[in-house]
Amino acid sequence: MEVVEELEQNGLQAARLVLKPIDGKLWEIKFRSYSGSFRVFYIMISKETMIWLHVFSKKSQKTPQKELKIARSRMKEILS
């Protein structure tokens, strides 16, 4: 996946990616691919370790609560 390659090469300063804090340790990456627009919810475990919690196809400006609930649940599971 091109976004993974971009992150591996350039880290969080990668071009074409929008990173946004959601709440607490939960963050979001927004990006466009040849197949559409996507969002990734993630957390940073260490300076070099990013865990992707949930990826979904972006269909609207507002983040659906269902998608956010999935990410928060997975984050809670990993951090506990």
pLDDT for 4-36, tens place per residue? 777 778 777 777 788 899 999 999 998 887 778
Q: Which amino acid is at 20?
A: K
pTM over 0.95: no
pLDDT at 1: 62
Domain parsing of the chain, residue ranges: 2-79
Which residues are within 8 A (CB) of 71 and not within 5 positions of it... i.e. 6 or more apart? 22, 26, 41, 53, 54
Angle at 75 between CA 19 and CA 77, to 5 degrees: 165
